[in-house]
Structure 1
């Protein structure tokens, strides 16, 4: 059903929500490169660079101030293990420089290829079409690659740790657990560590840290589980003296601990704050052990990221990169610390920080195309929600130097996906698109988001569709009470799991919202549960409950089942090749609202999947969404 757009043609360009701006939808979605998997090897810095114009991720090398593309034409480096990938390449230095090789997972067939960097010769070293690989780690003493292997077999999916030799040999190192993550070797190759867990646990609820001894042939001769309980481990590392260290949230936050071979555990000095987000992907590094008892650490405080060097014995701390507010993918060559960072004016950059002087240089990444005077800056949002509990987010006031207004602006609420994820106070040009036009934006980290400790993250257990919605409604009340927004002009949008929160908010919110947008949003969690993959097979049960013993929850929390309670106009965007949120979910939701006389509009893209990638489609979404909202201003 197409909604009449006559009211969107009003000429009052000074009314908030209708401000004119030269910052177009195309500008807002003009994709810039993104980076991941930084590592130092063979006297160079390496990373994975996603190039939107090509639609592929490439291995890059930076040496002596020069950057070159390593991945050959026709290939792309991207793992799809657990669907979210990570750890898509590693470097195997040779005895001499010309022998340096890169092992990478090719996106098209998910097999591991070995590429000679100088000669550019390419060899396929796995030949299992039904397998995927990720979490690659170089075993230098034995010239092989350690990896998480995902086998798609008839009726089941199995995971294991394997070693793949440069001669294409294959050896199984560990199997039997449901999931494996983050294999890492000690410098001398004598010790191996990894994370594993079994269903129904998730990578951020309860996992095991494993430590193994390897013989000369690289076989596991002895393996033990580090003593643990209701905790989630991530990002294991070995010190130069072979002490196993790892982030764990046993103290309430993901902070580094050291574990001796006899089982003793010591918390390393630092802030009581999360030093990592939830481990959806392999190969993340948000902390790093350096020489002489120094650690490089990143953590979040109130949603803002910090980076510092900290001494493990004296607790001396040196803060770094003050102008940035998110840090990931740390690595070091002994002279400098490298990381991927973001700020309120930059979505992603590769930084080099001298370990002696602290001098910072940017190797990659650009600032916003908007001038600094035009950028809406994030303000920390801290407010009380249901039961007097605290909720978090970021508020962006309207910003356009050509416009002024004394009246409170309309509000657009962003609900992030995941939902065990987070939003960050860094440049998001989609937000700037709205603030340029006179909307205030609140980007919510509702209870259940990461970055605020284990207890906050666990609040969504059994509470999805309730707790997050309470935080949405409380944010509106808080901002209205502060007279920061016009409470009569509130809009809400979300994609995937954020779309679910959005639709649930419409059910609970009555006439609170003027209009909403769902981008490939979940409208029936039971349908999502039926088609999800192994990594998330128990996720819906964790978020809502067991449908066999608590079926009423799935009725109460299904926007589709509760569609008669929605009176808010909604615009839907759906990719017809989406295998996560099937198009039928959106079609049913659109039909239900239409039958109930609710103004509804649906936009579909024949060649898009779960998460739109084409710039033209992303721009169309913003333009259609803006026109739809203006119909209800």
Structure 2
């Protein structure tokens, strides 16, 4: 992106069009592939191929949404073998023998983590009864064979000659709480035999197994408090390179690849440290060397071929882009293959965040990213939108977010808060919100807001809080008490943790059980500030009935909320075709509150 001096409001259409997202880069024999989701054309997801000298083109049929519903959040939704595209739609597993051809339904069901083995496709298939590891022949009439069964969850089927590794966790756990790595004898097109648990269990999350070129099995475990890389050589498990950072992302989806093997014996790893990501290389002797890149945020998908790694990177001045990084020399070469920028935003000035650390109780610090108004001077003072990230097992992302720029270009400051329970700070910090949800997260967001008011950055009476999903629950509780916030926007919000534990898809039920016990349900009678509720009617993660009920209760108490229901929209409003309507409603909500406050002040003066 070219940054210039043009200061203009970022339009709703531009903010949505620039929110194209990329996922799951994978190498294939005939190019590099990735997923591309385009909110401006309805939010559908397409498989795209890039070839040197040819550029990129779509290879899945137009109008087909490549989307996996496995474990509610999907992942690993396509693979390519010998020119055949295998991908997942909402109703099953598909294949296309020639790129762009109509897809053939192979099997009904919920599939994910598609992996190419020796002559077969391996995958996870989910039902309400549990998970299966399955194998499908790559040639002839495809037959689905079951390799392993679990009442809980399975993931990451990773084959090697004569062996198969995978992950497993129980229905009582989330994979970031207790996840196991298993290994078993497995001749291709045979059966799994003599399975052994290699790592993980209560108090340890072991994820992302992958066979190395040396024949060892590698995986990431948080047994030392951080997700770090380990290696099993057939006899023992040993640490590869201790790092005070997270060498894996919290596994909301299947198919993550946070590390990969270069063909010269080195390992490339994406590491998260607070809100920042970096790329490092682990030398054969264990030395860790940082890679100098123009990115501060990396998605947990690395695709390695030779000494080149494909990744999805971004920074405060560059929206997510697909890039090839040549690591053959000490000075890495970066080639950008795709970017979500477009002509409407070329040359626009953006707000670049600063990192803020606010002391709170028990000697902790809360990390926040502060995006000042786009045209602000060094001593700016502005209305502020504090954002509680979703998850809550997730984190702020230090990357260009055009939906944040939509507000900063209109004179607001936007502040993202890594409250207690966020990822990027180790296992203890991540687990500390369990049983405290709606309490410590709210306190952390409020502490940041109070700090901004005390320093004079925030305008009194014009500090707002917004959150999506679990962040919506945090935001609603923040206005269910006296505090610094003048109004709330809750998108796809969770309202009642107990009821959510009953209605949420089975993957996340353990999450709901562990989080609850803190503030309890949002009580309409406690809400003290104006409320905007935005929710998709097709949301399967946080059902719309709970939000409707809260809106009705608020109305009966005389505190009429604003309610925007988005027909046919699921849990992820920001990537839907209705994202623009949601942004406009949120902006109007804040301006209305500010106008009402100004009118009240004028009334007091005139009285």
After TM superposition, is the score higher than 0.5?
yes
Matches within 5 A, 1:285-304: 285-304=257-276
Change (3 A) 1:51 1:625: closer
Does the 8 A contact of 1:177 with 1:196 survive in 2? Answer: no
Structure-1 separation of matches of 2:81 and 2:490: 45
Alpha-carbon displacement from aligned partner over 1:408-460 (angstroms, at most 9, x marks no partner): 21211111111111220101111111111221111111111111111111111
Match in the other structure for 1:15 = none
> Structure 1: 5+ residue runs without aligned partners?
1-19, 94-99, 546-552
Matched, 1:342 2:330: no
Match of 1:109 among 78, 91, 99: 91
Q: 1:314 to 1:267 in 2, by over 3 A?
A: closer
Are 1:592 and 2:553 an aligned pair?
A: yes
- Name the CA distance, whole Å, in 1 between partners of 2:539 and 2:333: 46
> Which segment is superposed worse, 582-591 or 614-623?
614-623
Residue 174 (str. 1) matches residue 163 (str. 2): no
Q: Over residues 264-295 of structure 1, what are the superposed CA-to-partner deviations in whole Å (9 max), with x where a residue is unaligned?
A: 22111252101222101111112112233301
Match of 1:84 in 2: 73
After TM superposition, the structure 1 = structure 2 runs for residues 122-137 of structure 1, keeping only pairs within 5 Å, are 122-126=103-107, 129=108, 131-137=109-115
- C-alpha RMSD of matched pairs (Å): 2.3
Matches within 5 A, 1:174-213: 174-186=148-160, 189-213=161-185
Q: How many equivalent residue pairs?
A: 580
Task: Judge conservation of contact 1:576–1:606 (CA < 8 Å) in 2.
Answer: yes
Counterpart contact for 2:276–2:398, Cα < 8 Å: yes
1:13 maps to: none
1:451-494 Cα deviation digits (max 9, x unpaired): 11111111111111111111111111222333332343211111
Does structure 1 residue 480 correspond to structure 2 residue 453?
yes
Is 1:63 matched up with 2:51?
A: yes
CA distance in 1, matches of 2:527, 2:67: 41
Instruction: Name the counterpart of 1:559.
Output: 522
Matched, 1:380 2:343: no
**Contact 1:248-1:257 within 8 A present in 2 as well:** yes
Are the structure 2 counterparts of residues 241 and 218 from structure 1 closer, same or farther at C-alpha, using a change threshold of 3 Å?
Answer: farther
Do the aligned partners of 1:327 and 1:340 also contact (CA within 8 Å) in 2?
Answer: yes
SS of the aligned residue for 1:564 comes to helix
Partners of 2:468 and 2:490 within 8 A in 1:
yes
Query: Equivalent of 2:568, from 598, 603, 607?
Result: 607
**1:616 Cα deviation from its structure 2 partner:** 6.2
1:30 to 17, 23, 48: 17
Tell me which moved more, 284-293 or 194-203: 284-293
Confirm or deny that 1:48 pairs with 2:35: yes
Structure 1 residues 125 and 312, CA, compared in 2 at 3 Å: closer, same or farther? same
Alignment of 1:191-340 (within 5 A): 191-215=163-187, 217-229=189-201, 230-262=203-235, 264-340=236-312
Q: Distance in 1 between matches of 2:357 and 2:574?
A: 33
Note the C-alpha offset of 1:404. 6.2
Cross-structure match for 1:398: 373
Structure 2 CA distance for partners of 1:615 and 1:584, relative to 1, 3 Å: closer
Q: Equivalences for 1:493-504 in 2 at 5 Å?
A: 493-504=466-477
State the alpha-carbon separation in 2 of the partners of residues 46 and 390 from structure 1.
41
Structure 1 residue 73 corresponds to structure 2 residue 62 = yes
Q: 2:304, 2:416 → 1: CA distance?
A: 33
SS, match of residue 479 in structure 1: helix
Say whether the 8 Å CA contact 2:241–2:288 is kept in structure 1: no
Q: Secondary structure at the match of 1:196?
A: strand
